[in-house]
Chains A and B, each alone.
Chain A
């Protein structure tokens, strides 16, 4: 059962749906708009660095073992800010002042301004990210095959954006670029059920204060 605007507002107000900053007027009949984060958060693959790394390992320059890579390692080494316009060459993504230009078939990874999701404890909802129809008509794809924000997780949403249209698309921080729809789940996942029982045989804290006390505001 998908939530209407009435229930979306209630869910945000109750904390059962996390959208931070809280949306003001951008709740549609059954969705909430999301916006692009700061322009410095736009990232592209550094092919040259990846090629060098692969060469050192005896691998082919542009290949990535996608199902066996360790994403954390790869992303922090090879996802970088797009080049400036003067340096783009035949690249498909570049930065001009505060805009990112996405040429046809260009690919950029960019996080949303908003932190979105549901509380870890007893989550009631699951969220799905999708594009906005008017943007889609330009050929802009804002996510690739991974629309689900699983119950009990929250964070900035990483958009995998590509331009399937014929024009160069200009993107700015703060652009309303995507939306989420929210559905109720039948019951909290067992993974999220908090059992107040010892599971670590009396170990003391490994990291000081409980991270539950950490801010959810990111």
Chain B
């Protein structure tokens, strides 16, 4: 399985640890997923606010069928999200 590195639009929240952030994205089945990523995997790199900050997280794009993309996120999960959230970098 080859993958392309990319970015995924998400909402960023503070994590319990200063070196990581929580990223939130809504999957294609309408379920919110919240994962954690080291902070150098996200943009903006400034600490997100408690209310959430719009941003991006690095992903590996496993497939993109036009409307949907399957992505591997930094905490090891594979998610299916709307393709317009994802961009190959």
What range describes how many residues of B lie at the interface? Answer: 35 or more
Q: Are B76 and A75 touching (Cβ within 8 A)?
A: no
Q: Which of A115, A204, A212 contacts B38 (CB 8 A)?
A: A115
CB nearest neighbor in A for B4 = A199
Q: How far is the CB of A20 from chain B (nearest CB, A)?
A: 10
Among the listed B15, B37, B62, B88, which residue makes an inter-chain contact with A76, where contact means beta carbons less than 8 Å apart?
B15
Residues of B within 8 Å of A214, CB to CB, are: 40-43, 45
Q: Do B6 and A200 touch (CB < 8 A)? A: yes
Chain B residues within 8 Å of A212, by CB: 5, 58, 89
Are B61 and A200 within 8 A (Cβ)?
yes
A-side contacts of B89, CB under 8 Å: 205, 210-212
CB contacts (< 8 Å) of A111 on chain B: these are: 17, 19-20
Are A206 and B75 in touch, CB under 8 angstroms? no
Q: A40–B35 Cα gap in the complex (Å)?
A: 22
Residues of B27-58 contacting chain A, CB below 8 A: 32-43, 45, 55-58
**A211 with B43: CB separation less than 8 A:** yes
Residues of A near B22 (CB, < 8 A) are: 72-73, 75-76
Per-position contact with A for B59-83: 1 when CB-CB < 8 Å, else 0? 0111110100100101110000001
Q: Which residue of A lies closest to B63 (CB)?
A: A199
Chain B residue nearest to A38 (CB atoms) is: B18
Q: How far is the CA of A60 from the CA of B25 in the complex (A)?
A: 28
Chain B interface residues (CB < 8 Å from chain A): 1-9, 13-20, 22-24, 32-43, 45, 55-58, 60-64, 66, 69, 72, 74-76, 83-89
Q: A71-B35, A73-B22, A73-B34 are in contact. List 6 more A-B contacts (CB 8 A).
A: A76-B16, A76-B34, A200-B83, A206-B56, A211-B56, A214-B43
Q: List 18 A-B contacts (CB under 8 A).
A: A40-B18, A70-B32, A70-B35, A71-B34, A72-B23, A72-B75, A75-B16, A153-B74, A191-B2, A191-B60, A193-B3, A195-B2, A200-B69, A200-B83, A203-B84, A206-B56, A207-B7, A208-B43
